Chains A and B, each alone.
Chain A
């Protein structure tokens, strides 16, 4: 599980970068982009199922973050703040009448035979990807923020603009749906 928990030193460095970026230092903001792009893109890809749309939204989110940096106040979680902007961008795009509906990609390229795939078969990984992709977007968003980004439920609620109890509920339902779909396959893999 990817962890986004930061050491004190890293957090201090990030706060210093944010301060410099708030003062107009583009190099400092570029470092922040370098750090956060991949995670934002990954989450947005899971929400949109389209590389170009996810890249567009990542770019848009970061530009909006730059334009609104003065609104960010330490010691809030900058990572969660970026995700909140990204979610707003996603929702705007989602509501757009010109949005092209993206089906779930059926032929995902696996990352290669890493240790994970030695544990879980490619077929199971594909099933997991499909099951996550078919969760309702709101549930998927909350589930991934918890599992991949390790945000607290309060932070998830802030990102998605919902109450903390709703964030907990969506996470619960997402897990329940995934287990209903995947438990039999995981059972077989265990045997």
Chain B
């Protein structure tokens, strides 16, 4: 075995023990390869000592993660038992948990005032949604195909929302979340997915009424027109799209779509009112 072959073998073996006999024999008489191997091991020992900037976010993340169920309870005010069931271990199964969260949110108090509650609700509802998919409850092909990317998109925005520092940032992210939900209307409206469409309509209502409109009112007057103008237009487009889908969809899909029409129209006109009242 020559030195070149020996070095290649050494590069391919990552554990210091268990060198093949032939390689051991080469190392026994070749000082240069022994030194080369020593440097290789030295290099790797030092990799774990490479300095990196310290992460400062772990504690904040843990604090927010552990606080979420409490925020949800506060946000729902009066549906505490329902939400506790959703967050705690349950015998009812993942599907039941998901339904409990969403139905508790919507039926008892649609005008939730807490932004953190919205973020938490999205996360918990989506977690349960994911569990439901995993446990193999029968689903339409339409809803199956959207669940993964929808989850990923919403989780990503949900995280941004939890760290947004100003009302303008929060408004932009909430509008983005509303857009993500609205983009999934089409596939669900045409599929056999009444339950998923109803859920999406309820999430949309929460995001627009309890999140977006609430935060929009906190914007400075000078920010209102440039920030809210495009969002009001997008909400109007969503209302038109949902209305068109309602005309083309099976009867059981109509109501959730009409709910979205109402929410989007109300959102659009209330946003307009916010910048018109200043002028």
Q: Which residues of chain A have a CB within 8 Å of any CB of chain B?
A: 1-2, 23-27, 29-30, 33-34, 37-38, 41-42, 45-46, 51, 54-56, 58-60, 62-64, 66-68, 70-71, 92, 108-111, 114, 116-117, 119-120, 124-125, 128-129, 132, 144, 146-148, 168, 171-172, 175-176, 178-179, 182-183, 186-187, 190
Contact = CB atoms under 8 A, between A and B. Distances in A.
Nearest to A115: B49
5 contacts: A64-B152, A120-B42, A132-B47, A147-B14, A148-B47
Nearest to A144: B47
Interface in B61-98: 61-62, 65-66, 68-69, 87-90, 94, 97
Contact of A24 (B52, B61, B90): B90
A58 B55 contact: yes
B273 interface: no
Contacts of A144: 47
Given A29-B65, A147-B47, 20 more contacts: A24-B90, A26-B65, A38-B55, A51-B55, A55-B55, A55-B57, A58-B57, A59-B57, A60-B156, A67-B155, A68-B130, A70-B94, A70-B131, A92-B152, A111-B49, A128-B47, A147-B44, A147-B48, A148-B48, A175-B40
Interface of B: 11-12, 14, 35-36, 39-40, 42-53, 55-58, 61-62, 65-66, 68-69, 87-90, 94, 97, 123, 126-127, 130-131, 134-135, 151-152, 155-156, 158-159
Contacts of A37: 55, 58, 61
Nearest to A88: B152
